[in-house]
């Protein structure tokens, strides 16, 4: 046999080059070493065990916690002409029997198994009768009791080493702090593993954060560059996901809601459509995401603030898994902060937990209000460093200017003080602007010395001052008083004018992520017709085979076709993502589209 990793990469997977450390990881497995592979989502972990599984004698065993992901991978492998199957509880006994028969016959290159199935004596004895090439443990952080995805079944995986001696094991995960990393090695009993840590960064994701002024209008503007793109919009409440989805449909978008309160069938159907269709928007609570492996999600929007940097990074990480440009865009305002604190206060978690979560929320807020590159502090938070500013975030593309906010801060803190620390930002801004509202008259606030002293600045600036005072710790939003702003131990010095403050000016105008925005990079007007035809060709194969469009070809592959206009089979094979099997299955039709 003269196949090499490189040959499989180009001929079967259709990719010209290995990415990052893939080659070294594969080489380690081929020598029989255990390894731990840490790569961000979309980094290309699966190839790392799939290629050794195909090159070594025997069947590659992949332990995977999520049935949906298993099915996805097996479908995608089938499209590449690789013999793969899974064993899990979604199958009938007959289906399982047939998989086991194929396994015994040595027909399977890869077998995906859920961890609980592996714990049964039956599966174990079945597996001990066949040669195994490699054992891959996907989502290996599930073995860690410190993480939030702990799964009890993973604890038994430590026995794999003694059950299948001589078979290299590869633990792969996208999330692992130092502590979790050690725990994975220990609990899985990996033998002197090679450890590969890819950079945490997702350079193709453009980050942008804006103050929430008119969220629907802001969203529409953002979506201008994402017509026909698949995306996820996160909202805090179930009700809001539904109203935003309905409203988006009225605006001519294809959008569906997703939250834990929907009937299971509706939820499953909406998720299925999101995966299968080409340009659908899902409007969801955080209940949506686990197990979403769609590579061509072009944007993730947060219409409400997530609860921590961790959540933010995980949720935005669902964008751009295919490595193509994607946007992570968020709007947030004071109301979000008040609401999240309120939820935290009202939850029945312990005090330690609440304090901890409060600190995490503060870190996120501070990040939102930061000036300069956004990626740098984001990565620093996770212990990764960036040498240069990224050039692909709003902070880099449209640097926020700062202004001397010392006087403004004094005025706002005075207003807090004069109104006895009993009101939220909205009312305080009305007082500063000198508005004659009912509430102001009712409380006699129009008679205060601070009434109207802020008329020189717009309401949006006052809201921004309030947020930044909170971030700087000179004001606190008191959840016990329904979000009333209260003074802190450092407020006095600011009131006296002893603490000079420079605040960030909220950038006006459109979001600054357009430069590398997916749409712009891609299709010129004169190419639109061909692009649509390529997509239609892909969709018809997808419908015919009952698989998501991206299983046929990724966007990236279609873009290359568009740019290089291959006219022959050989030229088509040169396109990244086109291997021999896909050429045989789809080549003719795509070539006829390309020849026009
Ligand atoms: P994850 O690390 O999240 O498991 P995957 O293994 O699903 O990532 O890979 C993400 C995407 O990148 C897949 O669509 C995969 O086909 C693609 N990919 C992986 N390796 C390469 C490569 N060397 N060149 C081009 N694309 C690749
Ligand atoms: Zn940047």
- Per the document, the length of the chain is 596
Under 8 Å between Cβ of 13 and 47: yes
Residues of the chain with pLDDT under 50: 1, 512, 514-520
- Ligand 1 nearest-atom number relative to CA 13: 16
- pLDDT number for residue 319: 93
In this predicted structure, what is the pLDDT of residue 508?
A: 63
C-alpha 340/C-alpha 496 separation (Å) is 31
CA 375 to centroid of ligand 2, rounded, Å: 5
- As residues whose CB is below 5 A from the ion ligand 2, the structure lists 373, 375, 389-390, 393, 396
**Which atom in ligand 1 lies closest to the alpha carbon of residue 41?**
3
Determine the pLDDT at residue 292. 74
Model pLDDT for residues 295-337, shown as the tens digit of each residue: 899 999 999 999 888 889 989 999 998 888 999 999 998 888 8
Taking the C-alpha atoms of residue 414 and residue 501, their distance in angstroms, rounded to an integer, is 16
44 Cβ inside 6 Å of ligand 1: yes
User: Measured between alpha carbons, how far is 555 from 578 in angstroms, rounded to an integer?
Assistant: 12
Q: Is the CB of 408 under 6 A from ligand 1?
A: no
Q: Report the number of secondary-structure helices (H) and strands (E) in the chain.
A: 28, 17
Q: What is the pLDDT of residue 200?
A: 83
- pLDDT exceeding 70 applies to what percent of the chain? 96
Rounded to a whole number of angstroms, the distance between the first and last alpha carbons of the chain is: 41
Which residue has its alpha carbon closest to ligand 1 atom 19? 44
Shortest CA distance to 200 belongs to which of 441, 384, 36?
A: 384
Q: Which of 12, 40, 44 has most ligand 1 atoms within 8 Å of CB, for mutation?
A: 44
Instruction: Quote the tokens at residue 186.
Output: 């220990």
The residue whose CA has the least distance to atom 9 of ligand 1 is: 44
Closest ligand 1 atom to residue 323 Cα is 12
């Amino acid at each position: 046999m003269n196949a090499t990793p490189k040959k499989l990469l180009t001929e079967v997977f259709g990719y010209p080059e290995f990415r990052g450390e893939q080659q070294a990881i594969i080489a380690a497995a081929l020598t029989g070493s255990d390894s731990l592979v840490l790569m961000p989502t979309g980094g290309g972990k699966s190839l790392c065990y799939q290629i050794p599984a195909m090159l070594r004698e025997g069947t590659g065993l992949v332990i995977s916690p999520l049935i949906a992901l298993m099915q996805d991978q097996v479908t995608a492998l089938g499209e590449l002409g690789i013999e793969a199957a899974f064993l899990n509880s979604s199958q009938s006994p007959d289906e399982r029997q047939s998989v086991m028969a194929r396994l015994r016959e040595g027909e399977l290159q890869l077998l995906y198994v859920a961890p609980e199935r592996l714990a049964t004596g039956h599966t174990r004895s079945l597996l001990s009768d066949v040669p195994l090439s490699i054992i891959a443990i996907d989502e290996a952080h599930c073995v860690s009791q410190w993480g939030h995805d702990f799964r009890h079944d993973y604890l038994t995986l430590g026995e794999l080493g003694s059950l299948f001696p001589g078979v290299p094991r590869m633990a792969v995960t996208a999330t692992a702090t130092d502590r979790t990393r050690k725990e994975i090695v220990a609990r899985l009993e990996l033998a002197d593993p090679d450890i590969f840590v890819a950079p945490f960064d997702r350079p193709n994701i453009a980050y942008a954060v804006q103050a929430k002024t008119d969220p629907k209008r802001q969203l529409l503007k953002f979506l201008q560059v994402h017509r026909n793109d698949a995306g996820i919009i996160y909202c805090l409440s179930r009700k809001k996901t539904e109203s935003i989805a309905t409203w988006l449909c009225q605006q001519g978008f294809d959008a569906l809601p997703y939250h834990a309160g929907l009937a299971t069938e509706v939820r499953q159907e909406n998720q299925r459509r999101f995966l299968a269709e080409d340009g659908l928007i899902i409007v969801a609570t955080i209940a949506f995401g686990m197990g979403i492996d769609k590579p061509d999600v072009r944007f993730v929007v947060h219409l409400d603030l997530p609860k921590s940097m961790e959540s933010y990074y995980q949720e935005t990480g669902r964008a751009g898994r295919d490595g193509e440009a994607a946007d992570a865009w968020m709007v947030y305002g004071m109301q979000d902060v008040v609401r999240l604190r309120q939820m935290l206060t009202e939850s029945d978690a312990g005090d330690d937990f609440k304090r901890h979560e409060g600190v995490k929320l503060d870190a996120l807020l501070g990040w939102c209000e930061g000036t300069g590159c956004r990626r740098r502090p984001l990565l620093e938070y996770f212990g990764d460093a960036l040498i240069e500013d990224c050039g692909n975030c709003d902070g880099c593309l449209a640097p926020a200017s700062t202004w001397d906010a010392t006087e403004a801060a004094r005025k706002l803190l005075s207003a807090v003080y004069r109104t006895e620390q009993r009101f939220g930002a909205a009312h305080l801004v009305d007082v500063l602007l000198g508005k004659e509202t009912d509430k102001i008259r009712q409380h006699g606030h129009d008679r205060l010395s601070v009434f109207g002293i802020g008329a020189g600045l717009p309401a949006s600036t006052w809201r921004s001052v309030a947020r930044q005072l909170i971030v700087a710790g000179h004001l606190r939003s008191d959840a016990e008083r329904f979000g009333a702003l209260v003074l802190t131990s450092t407020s006095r010095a600011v009131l006296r004018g002893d603490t000079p403050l420079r605040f960030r000016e909220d950038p006006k105008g459109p979001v600054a992520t357009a430069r590398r925005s997916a749409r712009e990079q891609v299709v010129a007007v004169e190419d639109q017709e061909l692009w649509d035809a390529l997509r239609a060709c892909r969709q018809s194969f997808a419908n015919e085979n009952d698989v998501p469009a991206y299983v046929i070809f990724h966007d990236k592959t279609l873009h290359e076709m568009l740019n290089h206009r291959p006219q022959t089979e050989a030229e088509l094979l040169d396109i990244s993502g086109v291997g021999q099997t896909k050429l045989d299955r789809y080549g003719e039709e795509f070539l006829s589209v390309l020849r026009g």
